[in-house]
Amino acid sequence: MHHLPRLEPRSIQLVEDKWEKLYVLQKHDQVISGIDWSARSNRIVTASHDRNSYVWNLEGSEWVPTLVILRLNRAALCVQWSPKENKFAVGSGAKTVCICYYEQENNWWVSKLIRKRHDSSVTSVCWHPDNILLATTSTDGKCRVFSTFIKGVDARDSKKGTSPDSKFGEQIVQLDLSSSWTFGVKWSPSGNTLAYVGHNSMIYFVDDVGPSPLAQNVVFRDLPLRDVLFVSERKVIGVGFDCNPMVFAADERGIWSFVRYLAERKAVSSGSRYGSQFSEAFGKFYGQSKHGVSNDTVETSRTRGTVHENCINCIMPLGDHGTLLRRFSTSGLDGRIVVWDLENEQDLLEL
pLDDT at 157 (0 to 100): 64
| Cα(260)–Cα(248) distance, integer angstroms | 7
Q: Is the pTM here over 0.85, yes or no?
A: no
Helices (H) and strands (E) in the chain, counts: 0, 28
Span 256-292, pLDDT tens digits: 999 999 986 433 333 333 222 223 332 222 223 333 4
| Cα(269)–Cα(316) distance, integer angstroms | 36
Q: Which residues partner with 151 through β-bridges?
A: 154
CA angle 142, 144, 148 (to 5 degrees): 155
From the list 167, 165, 174, 169, the residue with the least C-alpha distance to 209 is: 174
What is the edge-to-edge ordering of all strands in the sheet holding 108-114? 76-81, 87-92, 97-103, 108-114
| Cα(40)–Cα(49) distance, integer angstroms | 27
b/e per residue 179-193 (b: at least 16 CB within 10 A) = eebbbbbbbbbeeeb
Which domains are present in the chain?
7-154+166-176 (2.130.10.10)
pLDDT band at 16 (very low <50, low <70, confident <90, very high): low
